[in-house]
């Protein structure tokens, strides 16, 4: 048989295999894996020359269409994702103005008209009506993942409607019995943070560290404990997103031992940056904030010991930041193009993070959590041929020339994605995204997907 694509002479790694061989693709699916010296006839053959081939990164956490036009973001930002080895991105998306039913249809069709890679949605609970609408959302859209936000005051600069415990409890009760149901929570105690913020503002400080100190890690830990309690009472699956508190992973592990289904996600910026780094300023405002060296190292322990479940970028391309006053600056940075390279350099090369563990964190586990594994996040025969080829020895400097704020610029990283393949089609190679792939991305969340 003649295959559509063969990648030969590769080191093939997913969470369960680490072998030398070739991988064959047909009709967008992984059709087979064989020994490296086998001759496989294909329309196109890529010689990996011993380089690493892994499942494409599954990024479960980004925000697109917030400042810039949604259609534009689905092209530019998902192209940036492809450069970074990402083949699937799930958007946390909010609609303050009404029902999610027409909203979903609009965002799905516009996304599929522009995206070069596959995508999906989580919906933010922004009105009480959204909670009552959950059965209709599940039936009409297939979305079973919902997010609630603490840590934001009502007058926050990005317009998020903050949650309360009643919203969380009611949402968890609705989601608990769904086959793919997940409740994600941004965990920060808003009341404590608001009090500490006022004290710090009165000192006149406007630096990045002041912002971090205004939202002490205890705010996050307290809310994680509260959300775990509610998840235990309702039986809901709980996702603690963008965790900055090292203790969060330990709390989740203790809860899991009691039968509570809670998982911890963290982000690259919390693993490679602190609020006290001398080369960054107020532009590095993120919500929750960057922490100190102690929390960063605690998170790395969770990465290495299995207590952190997954990675997400929390990529959000805002208009250029003013870089003046941390209290009025918008929170958020971009990470898509460097997410994998950061983990290869700081995790694999510097800390000995096993490659199979990295695949768990950035592909298999997030795909599993949101009901898309093993079709995404594995090298199983019969699954989508989403692959990233990595040169572990390639050294390159981070350069940012696109939208949003980058806090890694100038970093020299070892280990970069060099080719990205989405459902059997090469979307990125030779430092270029193939523009003919715009509009071939599919929405993975759709009505009837559990039938």
The yes-or-no answer to whether 3-52+386-392+413-435 and 58-369 have a common fold is: no
Give dist(CA 333, CA 150) in Å, integer.
19
pLDDT digits (tens, 9 = 90+) for 181-209: 999 999 999 999 999 999 999 999 999 99
* Mean predicted confidence (pLDDT) in 249-271: 98
Give dist(CA 24, CA 185) in Å, integer.
40
Q: How many C-beta atoms lie closer than 10 Å to residue 176's C-beta?
A: 16
Q: In this predicted structure, what is the pLDDT of residue 36?
A: 66
* Whether residue 40 has pLDDT greater than 90: no
DSSP string, 29-53: EEEEEE-TT----EEEEEE-TT-EE
* Mean predicted confidence (pLDDT) in 311-337: 95
* Mean predicted confidence (pLDDT) in 275-281: 97
Q: In this predicted structure, what is the pLDDT of residue 333?
A: 98
* Whether residue 1 has pLDDT greater than 90: no
Q: In this predicted structure, what is the pLDDT of residue 29?
A: 98
* Mean predicted confidence (pLDDT) in 376-381: 98
Pairing of the two strands 145-149 and 118-124: parallel
* Whether residue 142 has pLDDT greater than 70: yes
* Whether residue 177 has pLDDT greater than 90: yes
* Whether residue 251 has pLDDT greater than 90: yes
Cα 357 from chain centroid? Answer: 16
Q: In this predicted structure, what is the pLDDT of residue 155?
A: 85
Residue whose entry in the numeric block shows the structure tokens 């958020």: 332
Q: In this predicted structure, what is the pLDDT of residue 351?
A: 98
* Whether residue 35 has pLDDT greater than 90: no
Read off the pLDDT band of 37 (50, 70, 90).
low
State pTM to two decimals: 0.97
Q: Where are the alpha helices (DSSP H) in 113-158?
A: 128-132, 134-141
Q: In this predicted structure, what is the pLDDT of residue 174?
A: 97
In sequence order, what E strands does 94-209 have?
Answer: 118-124, 145-149, 182-186
Rounded to 10 degrees, the C-alpha dihedral 10/20/385/1 comes to 100
Q: In this predicted structure, what is the pLDDT of residue 451?
A: 80
Give dist(CA 339, CA 341) in Å, integer.
6
In sequence order, what E strands does 204-344 have?
Answer: 238-240, 262-266, 310-311
Residue whose entry in the numeric block shows the structure tokens 């330990």: 250
Pairing of the two strands 52-55 and 42-47: unpaired
* Mean predicted confidence (pLDDT) in 65-81: 98
Q: In this predicted structure, what is the pLDDT of residue 39?
A: 73
* Mean predicted confidence (pLDDT) in 156-170: 94
Q: Could you confirm whether domain 3-52+386-392+413-435 is CATH 2.30.40.10?
A: yes
* Whether residue 323 has pLDDT greater than 80: yes
**Among residues of the chain, what percentage have pLDDT more than 90?**
95
Question: Which class does domain 58-369 fall in?
Answer: alpha beta
* Whether residue 254 has pLDDT greater than 90: yes
* Mean predicted confidence (pLDDT) in 350-379: 98
CA angle 439, 443, 449 (to 5 degrees): 150
* Mean predicted confidence (pLDDT) in 219-238: 98
Give dist(CA 425, CA 409) in Å, integer.
30
User: Please, what is the average pLDDT of the chain?
Assistant: 97
Q: In this predicted structure, what is the pLDDT of residue 305?
A: 97
Q: In this predicted structure, what is the pLDDT of residue 75?
A: 98
Give dist(CA 87, CA 337) in Å, integer.
12
Domain limits, the chain: 3-52+386-392+413-435, 58-369
């Amino acid at each position: 048989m003649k295959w559509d694509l063969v990648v030969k002479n590769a080191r093939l790694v997913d969470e369960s295999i680490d072998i030398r061989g070739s991988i064959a693709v047909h009709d967008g699916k992984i059709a087979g894996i064989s020994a490296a010296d086998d001759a496989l006839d294909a329309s196109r053959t890529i010689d990996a020359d011993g380089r690493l081939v892994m499942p494409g990164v599954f990024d479960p956490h980004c925000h697109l269409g917030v400042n810039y036009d949604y259609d534009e973001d689905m092209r530019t930002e998902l192209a940036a994702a492809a450069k970074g080895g990402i083949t699937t991105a799930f958007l946390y998306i909010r609609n303050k103005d009404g029902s999610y039913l027409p909203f979903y249809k609009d965002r799905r069709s516009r996304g599929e008209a522009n995206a070069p890679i596959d995508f999906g949605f989580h919906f933010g609970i922004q009105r009480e009506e959204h909670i009552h609408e959950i059965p209709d959302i599940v039936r009409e859209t297939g979305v079973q993942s919902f997010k609630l936000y603490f840590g934001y005051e009502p007058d926050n600069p990005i317009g998020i409607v903050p949650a309360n415990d009643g919203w969380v409890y009611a949402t968890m009760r609705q989601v608990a019995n769904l086959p793919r149901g997940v409740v994600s929570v941004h965990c920060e105690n808003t009341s404590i943070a608001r009090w500490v913020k006022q004290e710090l503002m009165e000192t006149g400080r406007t630096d990045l560290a002041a912002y971090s100190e205004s939202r002490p890690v205890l705010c996050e830990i307290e809310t994680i404990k509260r959300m775990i309690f509610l998840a235990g009472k309702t039986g809901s699956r709980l996702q603690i997103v963008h965790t900055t508190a090292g203790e969060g992973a330990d709390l989740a592990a203790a809860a899991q031992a009691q039968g509570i289904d809670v998982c911890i996600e963290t982000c690259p910026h919390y693993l490679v940056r602190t609020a006290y780094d001398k080369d960054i300023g107020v532009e590095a405002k993120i919500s929750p904030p960057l922490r100190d060296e102690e929390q960063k190292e605690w998170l790395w322990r969770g990465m290495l010991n299995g207590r952190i479940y997954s990675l997400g970028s929390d990529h959000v391309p805002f208009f250029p930041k003013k870089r003046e006053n941390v209290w009025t600056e918008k929170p958020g940075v971009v990470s898509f193009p460097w997410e994998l390279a950061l983990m290869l350099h700081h995790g694999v090369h510097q800390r000995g993070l096993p490659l199979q563990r990295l695949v768990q964190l950035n592909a298999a586990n997030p795909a599993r959590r949101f009901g898309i594994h093993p079709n995404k996040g594995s090298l199983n025969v019969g699954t989508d041929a989403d692959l990233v080829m990595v040169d572990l020895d390639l050294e390159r400097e981070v350069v940012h020339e696109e939208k949003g704020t980058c806090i890694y610029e100038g970093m020299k990283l070892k280990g970069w994605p060099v080719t990205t393949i989405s459902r059997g089609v090469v979307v990125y190679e030779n430092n270029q995204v193939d523009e003919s792939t715009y509009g071939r991305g599919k929405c993975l969340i759709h009505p009837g997907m559990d039938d």
